[in-house]
Amino acid sequence: MAAAKVLAVFVTLMVIFCEVSFSTKDGSCYKELKEPLPNHIVTKPPHQKLNPSVIPDSFDWRDVNNTYFVSPVTNQFLPSPCGCCWAHAAVGALTDRMMIATQAKRSIVPLSPQVLLDCADPDLGSCHGGSALGAYKFIFKNGITDITCSPFMGVDSFYWAEVPCNETMCRTCDRFGKCSFIKGPTYFISEYGTVTGEDQMKAEVFARGPIACSVYAHSAAFEEYTGGVIHDPVQYNSTTHVVAVTGWGTDEKTGMKYWIGRNSFGTAWGEDGWFKLQRGVNALDIEKHTCAWAVPKM
């Protein structure tokens, strides 16, 4: 127990230090866009066509017919603290959807959040906060590569050279120390958009895969979370952090409904980097704020 308390304090201090020092002025790694971005929707979204009766009471992309469809937990604080939760959540949810699209029959290398820090318009996102929907707008137009081409460094260098960013996404070095840009794998999306509220969120996650949602992460219930279901009755009016929502369920002992989510604080936080958050009561403002989704081109 003592070790767990020390770990919880350490993680809390890291969260506070990193968000205050490396994110927006209000200590948030989520940033509202100056002007709302339009969705780019090609097909009828699931919440408009799915019969609610087909959506199960519990669902988790970590175990669908004994198959694990989600990508690994990441850490936005290493090797350099960076307020880029928006990038980690956006590419994490998109990587999950690529695994789902292939039925997990082949290995999918996680997409690179660093590309968004190197290339995205600073108005859409940086180490000082950003938007998952802005990330998807960028990927739709420019594409994105994986972490073997662009490993996470936690810095927002924006542009590497006076050439288009899609030509500098992938880089490598040989055994003699010579480094260069190379043509690597590039992935695109066919459409992107938002959902709001419990019913729309569940329909989107169930039909097409995880989504990127924002929450009020400065709540002690979130910052000090070590397990179980996060319950915070305070109604917040803003969000500060972006996570990936991958499913939902109900606690057998208490009957409390919850969301299942993946954070970007490393596996030392929460339940090996994962969390459960009370569902249906707008806990941490998750259900009143829009969640972003994107459909990968495979």
Catalytic residue among 82, 218, 263, 289: 263
Is there a catalytic annotation at residue 263?
yes
- CA-to-CA distance for 298 and 198, rounded, in angstroms? 28
**What are residue 75's DSSP bridge partners?**
265
Residue listed under structure tokens 């499913």: 247
Is there a catalytic annotation at residue 241?
yes
Contact between 111 and 99 (Cβ < 8 Å): no
Angle between helices 132-142 and 85-101 in degrees, nearest 10: 60
Q: Tell me, what DSSP letter sits at residue 71?
A: P
Is there a catalytic annotation at residue 85?
yes
Catalytic residue among 84, 85, 213, 291: 85
Catalytic residue among 47, 88, 218, 241: 241
- CA-to-CA distance for 262 and 38, rounded, in angstroms? 26
For residues 51-70, one letter each, b for 16 or more C-beta atoms within 10 angstroms of the residue's C-beta and e for the rest, the string is eeeebeeebbbeebeeeebb
Q: Which residues contact 227 (CB under 8 A, 6 or more apart)?
A: 270, 271
β-strand 241-250 against 59-60: which pairing, if any?
antiparallel
In the chain, the DSSP E strands lie at 59-60, 125-126, 129-130, 171-173, 179-181, 189-195, 211-215, 229-230, 241-250, 257-262, 274-278, 291-296
Name the residues annotated as catalytic. 85, 241, 263
